[in-house]
Structure formats: C-alpha cells, structure tokens
Amino acid sequence: MSYPRIAGTGSSLPERVVTNTELAALVDTGDAWIRERTGIGQRHIVDESESTSDLAERAARNALDAAGIDAGALDLIVVGTTTPDRIYPSTACRLQARLSAGECPAFDVQAVCTGFVYALGVAEKFFRAGSVTRALVVGADTHSRLLDWSDRSTCVLFGDGAGAVVLEASDTPGVMSTHLHADGRYESLLYVDGGTPRGAGRTAPGGAYTKMQGNEVFKVAVRTLHRIVGETLSANGLDHNDIDWLIPHQANIRIIEATARKLGMPMERVVVTVEDHGNTSAASVPLALDAAVRDGRVQRGQVLLLEAFGGGFTWGSALIRY
Ligand code: UT7
C-alpha cells in the first residue's frame, strides 16, 4: 500500500490588506464587533488584475520549491476552489499549463470551505490505489468576488488566498486517513446564487453573492466539527493526546475554540490564522498549515489533525503524520 506524505507546503496571499476599520466605512460595523464575534482583524483581498489561478500558481510554486520537486514530475493536480477563473477550463487545468506540468490529470473539486480537505481526500485515494507517485493539492479562493459589499453580515468575514501541498508516495503514512461528508439539505443556510440556473437564459442575471444565516451555520458547524474530529481519532485508535497540532478551518475564532475545547486540546496546540486572513474558504486550512510549517511550529514526525466545514454543507478531516 502506498500513502501520500507531505513533501512540501506553500501559500500565497494578495498584497492588499483590508482592515476592519476600512470596512466600517462601507457598512455599519466596527473593529470591536468583528474582533469579538469572529476573531478577524484584517483580510487580504485581490485587486482587479488578480485571479484565483494567480494565487494558486504562487502557492504551488512555493510548495514545489519546498519539496524540491519539478512540476514536470507531477502526475496529479487537484484544486479545491469555488471561485474558478472561468466556468471551464478548470483552475487545475490552467494551473497545469502555467506550471508546465505535462499531461497529468488535473481537475477542480468544489466543496467550498472544505475544498482543500476534499481535494486531499481525493488525492489520497489515487495514492492508495497506487496510481500516482507525486501530486499537487491546492486550496485557492477569491471569495471576495462573491461578496455583497453592502451586506455587513457576510462582507466582513472573508478574505482571499491560496495554500498548496506537494504529496509524494511513501510506504508509511503520511496521510493516515481522510474523512469526507456532505449534507445537501442545508443549502438554504449558506449559498451563492449564480451559475447556469434553469430559466435564466444564457447566464444567471445579476451578480453572485454569498447569502448566509450565520447564526444557524455557526451552530451546525460547532456540532459537526466535534463529530468529525471524534470520527477521525476513533478511526485511527487515537485520542487528543496523540495530536500535536489541530489545524482547523479559519471561519471564526469562537468555532475554533469550541472545537478545541470539546476535543480537550489547549489553544497552544491549535494553529490560528483567522485574525490575519479571515475566512479564505478552501485556502484556509493549507494557509494555516504552511504558516505553521514555515515558522517552525510543525515539525517532521508530528501528528496533525486538519478539519474544515463549509457550504453544501460539506465537512471533512485529515489525520497526517507530517
Ligand atoms: O466558512 C464556513 C461557514 N461559515 C461559518 O462558519 C460562519 C458561521 N457563523 C459565524 O461565524 C457567526 O454566526 C457570524 C460571525 C456570521 C455572526 O455572529 P453572531 O454572533 O452569530 O451574530 P448574529 O448573526 O446572531 O447577529 C447578532 C447581531 C445582529 O443584530 P441584532 O439583530 O441583534 O440587532 C446582527 O445584525 O449582530 C449584527 N451584526 C453585525 N453588527 C456589526 C451582524 N453582522 C454585523 C457586523 N457588524 N458585521
């Protein structure tokens, strides 16, 4: 059996930083409310010239450099994104061309904030089947393009970014297990109009904006993330003492703290980037992973528990020996 191990990580953020105070000039909000209710202090937002694949490419190149692997040696590219540059070709195909990564399979996975964890889970199955030896897995989103900047209940929450890992086949884990779930019955609590709906003619009318009943989403997220971390630990016969780092989706510090508390993990062993990045959707988990690898918190041999929850609803986790 072949397992994927993380050979290198990378990430990328747009240069432009938008503070809470700047948002208070657009909508009726304030730094104190945003910090207290979400833990967010600022977010990075793309300028008009940047796209999801620009961020994905920079993150991918950083991860390939860290791994010491040439893009031409990749035999799989999976990108988790909900904000592709185009409806098609996929962001993964555009990325493959930009990286000159040959003719390996390349495709996107759309699971909103769980996009990276889903992409990792899909890639893991390719390794387990023995079909690939080197893969690039990216989470990248420009969720700012899906925001109504007059809606204070959503526009303060999201930021843009990309994170990537290069995976390499190994006889020992590596990625020990991934756990993916969805429940489509919750669509009304979190969705973006747009796409190619019936009856709309050639394209959807108007813009595509995030609509969320935040409070309801919050409750389901806390409940569900508690379940998924429990599922992941028991599938591997472990408990929270065996985990060196919890690397959660960065939607809200209160959700992160609730998950850590229920798991029995002290916050010193939780990677938190929400203050600086906001919710970067599919990029959130790999951005946090890369930050903790690069600042030396995450060390080789340590056990990492990654988890995410997002629109769909989708949720998932990965247990990794780094
Ligand atoms: O990434 C995947 C999915 N997303 C999430 O996981 C997000 C989950 N939800 C949340 O993080 C939180 O529910 C929010 C941060 C979105 C909202 O926090 P909350 O504590 O649940 O607030 P709320 O929605 O219950 O609203 C409380 C009050 C309301 O005012 P009233 O009705 O009590 O007068 C809102 O209108 O806060 C008001 N409010 C704001 N006030 C200042 C909502 N947004 C803002 C804002 N600034 N930006």
H/E stretch holding 232 reads helix 214-235
**What does the alpha-carbon distance between residue 149 and residue 155 come to, in Å, rounded to a whole number?**
6
Q: Is 221 in the pocket of ligand 1 (CB under 6 A)?
A: yes
Q: How far is the CA of 260 from the centre of ligand 1 (A)?
A: 21
**Residue 57 burial (CB count, 10 A):** 21
Residues paired with 80 in a beta bridge: 109, 139
Residue-by-residue pLDDT tens, the chain, 322 positions: 789 999 999 999 999 999 999 999 999 999 999 999 999 999 999 999 999 999 999 999 999 999 999 999 999 999 999 999 999 999 999 999 999 999 999 999 999 999 999 999 999 999 999 999 999 999 999 999 999 999 999 999 999 999 999 999 999 889 999 999 999 999 999 999 888 777 656 666 567 899 999 999 999 999 999 999 999 999 999 999 999 999 999 999 999 999 999 999 999 999 999 999 999 999 999 999 999 999 999 999 999 999 999 999 999 999 999 9
Among 26, 37, 148, 222, say which to mutate for ligand 1: greatest number of ligand atoms within 8 Å of CB.
37
Helix (H) or strand (E) holding 224: helix 214-235
pTM of the model: 0.97
Nearest CA to ligand 1 atom 28: 153
CA distance 265 to 269: 7
Question: Does ligand 1 lie within 6 Å of residue 33's CB atom?
Answer: yes
Distance between CA atoms of residues 274 and 251, nearest Å: 7
- Classify residue 247 by its DSSP letter: E
In short, whether 217's Cβ falls inside 6 Å of ligand 1 is yes
Contacts of 261 (CB under 8 A, 6+ apart): none
Any atom of ligand 1 within 6 Å of the Cβ of 100: no
Q: What separation in Å is there between the alpha carbon of 215 and the centre of ligand 1? A: 6
